[in-house]
Structure 1
C-alpha cells in the first residue's frame, strides 16, 4: 500500500508543478473573475457620452415621436435634428461631428422608412434600437390609418394564455424543470470536459513514462495494477484541486455580488432553488463517470509506447464521450424519449444521460438504482480487464495503433 501512495503522490506533484497546469489554472481563474465582473469591465471601457446621431426628417412629422421613444428606450443614443442636406450630413459624419446620419421619409403607403449612414456599420446595437423604435412608430401609424384602436392592437399582440399542467402528481412542474435545467447543463459540460481532459492526461502520462523507460523501473518496484490505480487517483486529485479552486473563487465572487447576480444568471439557468438531491446525484455520477473513463484511458495508454500514438488509440473513448454528450444535449428538450431512456442504462452513457433524467424527470428509484448498479459493475469489470491489459501493456514496446494489441497485452500479463 505504501508503494501506491508513493506513485500517487509522484503523479500528483509532478503534474501540479508543470507550467501547463499552472498556466491553465490561472487563465481559467482569470476567466471566472472576468465573467463575474463582465458588466463592470464593459462599463469601465464604455464612453459615458451618448452617441449623437444627426436626423434629417424629410416628413417634418417623424422626428418628435421617434426622438421621444428613443429617449425612453436608450439613454446612450441622442437624436439631433439636422437642417442641412444629406450630403452635408454625410460629410459631418465623416468629420466625426456625429456618429451617424438618419434620413426619415415615407414610403408609398405613407408609412415610415429610413436610411442610415455611418463610417462603420458593424455596431448593430444602435441600428437595432432605431429599427425597433421605427417599427413601433410604423405599427402605431398603420393601426391609426386602418381604424384599429390602441387597445385592440395591444389585445392582438398580447401573448396567448397557455398553461401546462401535469396530471401525474409525481411529475415535475415547469418551474421545477427550469430549476433543474441549470445544474444539468453545468454537470454535463463539467463531466464532458473533465473526462476529455483528465482521461487523455492519464493515457499520455502512461505513454510518456513508457517512452522514457521509466516504466521498467516502476514495474520492478510496484505491481502494474497498483501503478494503474495510483495514476487514476493521482490525476483525479489533480482535477479535484482545480475544481476546488474554480468553485472556491466562483463562490467568493458570487457571494460578493449576490445582489447583482441573483435574478440574472441564476434565474436564467434555474440554479437558485435546485433540490439538494440533484447535487448529490451530480457528485455521484461525476465520480462514477470519471472512474469508468479513467480506467479505460489508463488501459489504452498502456498499449502505446510513444506519446504520438495516444490520440489515435484513445479515439474510440473520445467517440463514446461525444455520443453520450450529444444524447444528453438532445435529451434536454425530450428527457422522456425512448432513446434517452434506453441510453441511460448503457454504462458509457449512464453518467450523463441518467443524470439528465434524474434532474429533469421524476425517475423511479429502481431505475436509478439499476443504472448505478450496472455502472458500478461495469467499472469493476473494466478495472479487472484493464488491470490485466495494463499489466501486459506496460511491457509492450514498439509502434501500437490498433485495439488488436489488447489481446497481446492480456497474453503477456499471463506470463507474469
Structure 2
C-alpha cells in the first residue's frame, strides 16, 4: 500500500511541476479572467466614453401615415432615433443614407389600420428589422385606439393578459416551464462537455505518461520495485489528483474574474439554476467515467513502445468519447428518445447520456440505480482486465499492434504471476 501512495504522490507531483502544466494553467486562468471582463477590456482599449449613439432611421411617409411618422420621431425610449424625412421622397432618403446621413430608411404607406412598411438596410442583423417592425406596430396600435376613443380602462381590459396556470396531472408529476427547461438545457450542455473533456484529456495524459516511461526505459527500473498493477492504479489516481488541482485553479480564476467584473449573476445561478442533486450526479459520473476510460488508456499506453505511438493507440478510445458527446448533443433536443435510453446503459456512453437524461427528463430512481450499478461493475471488470494487460504490456517492446499486442501482453502477464 505504501508503494501505491508513493506512486500517486510521484505521478501527481511530477505532473504539477512540469512547465506545461504551470504555463497552461496560468494562461487559461488569465484568459478566463479576461473573458469574464471582456466588456471592461473592450471599453479600456476602445477609448469610448458615455452612451453609444443611436442609429438613425429616415422615415418616409405620406399624408395618411403622417401621424405614425410623428409618433416615431418623438419615440425616445427605443433603440433607434427616427427622423421624419420632409420631402417624402424615398429615392432621396436612400441616397442620403448611402452618403452617411442616416443608417436605415423606413417607408410607410397605407391608412393607419393597415400600414405597409418597407425597411431598407444592409441586412446583416435580422434583429434590427424585427425591432423596427415592433416599433411601427406599437405606434399603429396607439393611433388606432385613439381613433376608436377607447379610455385607459378599456385599453387595460384589451391588453390585460389572461391568468394561465399549468398543473401536474398527478401528485408525483412535474411541470417544466420554459425558464426551467432552458436552465436545465444549458447546465446539462455545459457539464456534458466537461465530462467529455475530463475523460478525454486525462485519459490521454495517462497513456502518454506510461508510454513516455517505457520509451525512456524508466519503466524497467520502476517495475523491479513496484508491482505493475499498483503502478497503474497509482498513475490513474495521481493524474486524477493533478487534474482536480488544475480544475480547482481554473474555478478559482473564474471566481476572481467574477469579483473583478462586479457582476451579481453568480447569486442567481447558485439560487435558481444549479441543482445540488444534479451536481452530485455529475461528480459521480465524472469520477466513474474517468476510472473507466483511464483504465483503458493506461492499458493502451502500456502496449506502445514509443510516446509517438500514443495517439494511434488511443484513437479507438477517442472515437468512443466523441460519439458519446455527439449523441449527447443530439439528445438534448430529444432526451426521451428510445435510442438515448438504450445507449445510456452502455458503460462507455453512460457518464454523458445518463446525466443528460437526469438533467432533462424524469428518470425513475430504480433505473438510475441499475445503470450506475452496471457502470460500477464495468469499471471494476474493465480495470481488472486492463491491469492484466498492463502487467504484461509494460514488458513489451516493438512495433505497436492492437490485436497481437493484447494477446502477447496477456501471455506475459500470466507468466509474471
Q: Give the shorter-chain TM-score range.
A: 0.7 to 0.9
Cα distance in 2 for residues equivalent to 1:266 and 1:86 = 53
TM-superposed deviation, 1:291: 0.7
TM-superposed deviation, 1:88: 7.2
**Contact 2:94–2:105, Cα closer than 8 Å, also in 1:** no
Structure 2 unaligned runs (5+)?
A: none
Cα distance in 2 for residues equivalent to 1:349 and 1:291 = 14
TM-superposed deviation, 1:374: 1.9
**Contact 2:37–2:260, Cα closer than 8 Å, also in 1:** no
2:323 corresponds to which residue? Answer: 323
1:26 corresponds to which residue? Answer: 26
TM-superposed deviation, 1:87: 7.8
1:50 corresponds to which residue? Answer: 53
1:384 corresponds to which residue? Answer: 384
2:120 corresponds to which residue? Answer: 116
Cα distance in 2 for residues equivalent to 1:365 and 1:89 = 66
1:306 corresponds to which residue? Answer: 306
Structure 1 unaligned runs (5+)?
A: none
**Contact 1:5–1:230, Cα closer than 8 Å, also in 2:** yes
Cα distance in 2 for residues equivalent to 1:134 and 1:95 = 25
TM-superposed deviation, 1:293: 0.7
The residue correspondences of 1:14-413 to structure 2 (distance < 5 A) are 14-41=14-41, 45=46, 48-53=51-56, 55=58, 57-59=60-62, 61=66, 62-69=68-75, 71-74=76-79, 77-81=80-84, 98=101, 100-102=103-105, 104-106=107-109, 111-114=115-118, 116=120, 122=124, 126=128, 129-134=131-136, 163=166, 165-167=168-170, 169-174=171-176, 178=181, 180-251=184-255, 254=258, 260-261=264-265, 271-272=273-274, 274=275, 276-413=276-413
Cα distance in 1 for residues equivalent to 2:266 and 2:30 = 22
TM-superposed deviation, 1:129: 3.5
Cα distance in 1 for residues equivalent to 2:311 and 2:385 = 21
1:11 corresponds to which residue? Answer: 11
The normalised TM-score by structure 1 is 0.79
Cα distance in 1 for residues equivalent to 2:371 and 2:305 = 36
Cα distance in 1 for residues equivalent to 2:240 and 2:13 = 12
**Contact 1:166–1:173, Cα closer than 8 Å, also in 2:** no
Q: Closer, same or farther in 2 for the Cα pair 1:389/1:23, shift >3 Å?
A: same
Q: Closer, same or farther in 2 for the Cα pair 1:30/1:252, shift >3 Å?
A: closer
Deviations 1:314-341 (A, max 9, x none): 2221232233333433444444443333
Which stretch has the larger CA shift, 332-341 or 279-288? 332-341
Cα distance in 1 for residues equivalent to 2:94 and 2:28 = 45
User: What is the root-mean-square deviation in Å for CA atoms of aligned residues?
Assistant: 4.1
